[in-house]
Structure 1
Amino acid sequence: MDSEDGRDFAVVAGVLGDLMMYRSCDKKWTLIQGRFKAYRDIVSFKGKFYVVDTSGRGHVFAIEPSFKVTEIISVTQSHETFDERLVVSGDELLLVQRFTPGKYGDEHMHTWFRLFRLEEEDQRRWVRVNDLEDQVVFLGIDWNLCYSSKELSGLKRNCIVFVDPKTVFERNRVFDLGTRKTSKAVTECRGYMGAFGENQETLWSCGINCDDA
């Protein structure tokens, strides 16, 4: 937060389904009022908080430390999704939509994704992303991150790594944005054995628990 000594800060947290903000200048928690009734994911990005609700329709809201809440125009032609995440990638914010067939969203080998990048010029809006270039998106149980395939040897570029909660062993799945196919991480290529084996210390330093991923 902007302050004379640069020490003021704000924190947003989920409390029993509601979103609350703590500001160091107030020294108290305050309920955030907005059009969202429930949230799926929240991140801090460039001095604001961004939250995606549970509608599965690409509804994302920007929350400022002043408590002002602005809804970003939803992604075009949005279908109801199984899951939506917000991922910070360098100086960009990504909206990741996950589509899993089946009545209960359990056909994970047929899972596919759509990605959008937040365009901040003029009116904020989401722009479709078809190629992550050398980046890899990791979607964990309660964490998300984007990392360069050049920094983790053996990782395949332009992919999304996610977890199949229905299985006990070999839970990691890889969705290739180029081929638009989902595979098991350990059988996709030998490189993923390195990513989740030889590079465990590197992954841990990035906040990835290899035992839970």
Structure 2
Amino acid sequence: MSRDRSQWSDLPKELLEIIAGSLHTKTDVTRFRSVCKSWRFSVPPFQTRIVLPPKVPYMGPPHLRESSVFLTEATVYYLSPPAGSISSGSSLSGWLVKIKEGQQVGQQAHLMNPLSPVQIRPLPDSFPKVINSFQFRVFEFAKSYTLQSSNLSYKVGFSQDPDCPSLMLVASGVLWHLKLGQDRWAVIDDMISQLSYEDVIPIPCQGKFCAVDEFGRTVLIDSSLKITEIVSVNSIRGGDGDKKNLVVSNGELLLVDTYLRGDHTYIGGRKTFKVKKFRVFKLKLDQKRWVELQSLDDQILFMGEDCSFSVSAHNFDGCKGNCIVFTDPCFNVFNLDDGSVSPVALHEEYANIFNPPSSPRPNPSPHRNVARRRFFSFW
């Protein structure tokens, strides 16, 4: 055992630098630095390259501006017990949590609804107050950014391009852009899709945003706010759904077209429609069109109000891929195989995605004294 540890600690510095260069999240860097002393001193603690301001300017006319408009960030984590940490014959699946950390040192973090910007309170009795990261494998699956004030809440796309870090959102069908450090939002001037945009997301590592309107027209917006059309209007055959959203899955850009039922209910004073079905399309950039997918294979799409992401079903015991988990406002599952919609509560394997396991628990870490200092404290 000691010889194996020595081999890990004796890896060449050049190789450690290559490995560290591929770590882009705080969780990955922290776990890398926890392997041994030489690894710990080979890279500095994780530092966010771009610090988001807690407050940003209001988008509307000056006489209607809110005094406090806050930009909040939350992280969707996947937690799973390490191999060999549970007894033989037991089944313990990984699960998802979304945490909104305090914006200042010492502020409390909050447990959020995984598919909306709503805080969960009171916390479920079964939820642990402390999760020891030495007893779980912890991965960051997604980030969500939300602009909130007393009477509004918008999903925000955040481009972390070091040359032009910026935000973009859709409000009343209009695209708004804010370069960090500036005191005024800019309206994206696009006469074709003005007032009809429905979603916008950042394109990783490109410094661009991708936006789609209600007719399926899709554009790229670069840091100079130049618009490049990549899919024209009405290029989706039968794409007459009620709401279009963009999501990246396995490095590919997907469009999810949502069809709503005619009936509706009021929740919290807001009109809410039930989902009838989804259709999923993949971008064929060379053909400048969206092509419908008949299957997502082993992928599960999580469609949230403030972020959407894709996860392999292999991460969750008993779950099958080729489905969409969404909220309207309760958690539901849409099965692409047969087009059915059913509550997550009727499927224990999917319900467990959002619930911490009650038993069995992972065995205590042999590095107990060290492990106590490395944990996620949710309040």
> CA deviation digits over 1:111-143, x for unaligned, max 9?
11110011122x422111111111000111222
Cα 1:8–1:195 change in 2 (3 A) is same
5+ residue gaps in structure 1?
1-5, 166-170, 200-213
Aligned to 2:341: 182
How far apart are 1:63 and its partner, in Å? 1.4
Q: 2:316 aligns with which of 125, 131, 152?
A: 152
> Counterpart in 1 of 2:169?
14
How far off is 1:27 after superposition?
9.2
Amino acid corresponding to residue 167 of structure 2 in structure 1: V
- Structure 1 distance, partners of 2:338, 2:170, is 40
| TM-score for both structures, normalised by structure 1 | 0.73
* Corresponding residue number in structure 2 for 1:51: 211
Cα offsets for 1:59-85 (capped at 9, x unmatched): 322212232213313443234322211
Contact 2:301 2:323 in 1 (8 A): yes
Cα deviation, 1:17-44, whole Å, max 9, x if unaligned, reads 4423345799975432112224321111
**How do 1:133-148 and structure 2 match up within 5 A?**
133-148=297-312
Using the alignment, how far apart are the partners of 2:336 and 2:170 within structure 1? 35
> Does the CA contact (< 8 Å) of 2:304 and 2:327 recur in 1?
yes
Question: Is it true that 1:119 corresponds to 2:284 in the alignment?
Answer: yes
Closer, same or farther: CA 76–90 of 1 in aligned 2, 3 Å? same
DSSP 3-state at the match of 1:156: coil
Gaps of 5+ in 2: 1-160, 265-271, 358-379
- Give how far 1:180 is off: 1.3
Contact 2:247-2:255 within 8 A present in 1 as well: yes
| Identity within the alignment, % | 31
**Structure 1 counterpart of 2:249:** 89
Distance 1:43 1:14 in 2: 8
Task: Give the equivalent residue in structure 1 for 2:349.
Answer: 191
- The residue type equivalent to 1:164 in the other structure is D
Q: Which amino acid aligns with 2:199?
A: D
Summarize the alignment of residues 25-36 of structure 1 with structure 2, pairs less than 5 Å apart. 29-34=185-190, 35-36=192-193
| Residues 87, 93 of structure 1: 8 Å contact kept | yes
Q: TM-score scaled by structure 2?
A: 0.43
Paired residue for 1:106?
Answer: 273
Structure 1 residues 20, 106: closer, same or farther in 2, change over 3 A? closer
Find out whether 1:62 has 2:238 as its counterpart: no
